[in-house]
Amino acid sequence: MRIDLIGCMWIVATACVIPPKTTPFAGVLPDDVELDMSGTVSLLSDGTLHLALTHPCIMKVRSTQAANPCDREHLGSVRVVAHTPWNRDVRGTWDDPAHIAFAPDWKSTGLDPWAMPRPRRGTSPGRRGRPVSPTPR
């Protein structure tokens, strides 16, 4: 009975562990490079979109089985392209092994990245965008 309880606890514990979310690189990589594209995107004041990778680009050294951050030569061989919702491709430039910058041409999109969202008609910003209903008097 004790073995059954331990086995059951092990199954429950492993089922509750959520594997880390990864986004594998979809393009072509050199054989000795690993790249996970998951990370955080931020909009810089100059309109550049900046991707801070959760894990930096890694190059594996075959002779020692060590993993080091990618050097400039390896970063230059990894072509990173973002496909936008407005159906354009924007080439990324590597700042370092953990940061990629994308500079979309905002003028061609008709979008203003710094515009504040406007409340929809019939909503009140003070009520968190809920529809305004007439109050009985």
Helix (H) or strand (E) holding 66: strand 66-69
Residue where the block lists tokens 């990629």: 100
C-alpha pair distances (Å), 92 with each of 37, 40, 102, 128: 12, 15, 5, 36
Domain count, the chain: 1
Domain assignment present for residue 57? The answer is yes
- The CA distance from 61 to 51, in Å, is 26
On whether residue 31 sits in a domain, the answer given is yes
Q: Is residue 63 part of a domain?
A: yes
Q: Is residue 11 part of a domain?
A: no
Query: Which residue, chain included where needed, has tokens 């050294």?
Result: 61
Would residue 45 count as lying in a domain?
A: yes
Domain contains 66:
yes
Cα–Cα separations (whole angstroms), residue 62 to 32, 71, 117: 8, 15, 51
pLDDT, tens digit (0-9, with 9 covering 90-100), for 97-110: 999 999 999 888 88
pTM of the model: 0.67
Nearest Cα to Cα of residue 41 among 28, 27, 23, 59? 23
Residue-range definition of the domain harbouring residue 69: 21-112
Predicted confidence (pLDDT) per residue in 75-129, tens digit: 999 999 998 888 899 999 999 999 999 999 988 888 888 776 665 665 555 544 4
